Amino acid sequence: MPSARTRATKTRRIAVRGANHASKTFRELADKWRAETRFISSVEKLSMNYSYQRIIGMGSPAVPLLLRELKQKPDHWFWALEAITGANPVPAQAQGDIQKMADAWLSWGHQHHYL
Amino acid sequence: MATHDLELAFPNLRGTPYEITSPSSSAYNCIAWAAGETNRWWWPALSYYWPAGVTREATLSTFVAAFKSLGYAVCDDERLEAGFEKVAVYVDAAGVPAHAARQVESGEWTSKLGRDVDIRHPNLKSLESPLYGLVAQILKRSRAAR
């Protein structure tokens, strides 16, 4: 019978491996989405892209990854964040301003301890 | 960016005197650029900019209404008219707006390509493609009204 310490160590290792896997998957999907949608203006088409939908399908583990991505390179991750969290922190005066939209989400991320 | 990528997406550009006129930017899109803005992404979706009072729905009629709110009126052709600025709305195979271009004073057209670059292209056919579809509506307004 493994000790409580051994079980805890194993659980931590599994969690780290899971986080690393989610991070790698996210990176691949985000890069693919950027490449496939570079010429698209339609927010619906940007968001219905297969890679983008897979990121939404990752659920809550994608939220800190999306927020970090927004911080490094503001882009159209708002639909995904809203779909996963149900939140929409973008004020009316920031609509369409990608930097201000990103700032609103980053502030929300801090408030909700995702960052 | 490689012009090869552009010509793959928009085959009608091949062999024409188009020119890349800006770096890539996620800050604005083709609709904003056609309307003369470079600081917001215009689209009738939640959280994006759309002119006040215009229905938030991605249809040709709402895009026409958005440009009408800026002083444009529908017109019949893409010919250069002294004193007027024209915009063209492209719709995809499903009839959904996919792109807008604006005519410059030389008679050429300027377009922002999604999150990518701005280009100057000789005519509207240059960007007709599976991605952007075909031009469905042209509108014009006095250059003085800009």
Q: Six-digit token pair at A81?
A: 């964040």
> Which residues of B make CB contacts under 8 Å with A?
9, 24, 26-27, 29-32, 39-43, 45-50, 58, 96-99, 112-116, 131
> CB count, 10 Å around CB of B96?
15
**A55-114 pLDDT, tens per residue?**
999 999 999 999 999 999 999 999 999 999 999 999 999 999 999 999 999 999 999 999
Across A9-21, average pLDDT? 68
Tell if the CB–CB gap between A39 and B114 is shorter than 8 Å.
yes
Can you give the pTM of this predicted structure? Answer: 0.91
Domain region containing B15: 3-145
Q: Are B104 and B120 in contact (CB under 8 A)?
A: yes
Closest by CA to B113, choosing from A61, B82, B7, A15, is B7
Closest residue in B to A36 (Cα) is B9
CA distances from B90 to B42, B117, B142 (A): 15, 18, 21
How far is the alpha carbon of B100 from chain A, nearest alpha carbon, in Å? 9
Tell if the CB–CB gap between B26 and A98 is shorter than 8 Å.
yes
Closest residue in A to B113 (Cα) is A39
Closest by CA to B89, choosing from B131, B133, B46, B51, is B133
Closest residue in B to A87 (Cα) is B47
CA distances from B75 to A80, B69, B79 (A): 38, 15, 10
Across B139-144, average pLDDT? 93
The whole-number pLDDT of residue A14 equals: 64
Give the bridge partners for B110, in sequence order.
B102, B120
Across B24-40, average pLDDT? 97
Tell if the CB–CB gap between B99 and A97 is shorter than 8 Å.
no
How far is the alpha carbon of B145 from chain A, nearest alpha carbon, in Å? 24
Number of domains in chain B: 1
> Predicted ipTM?
0.94
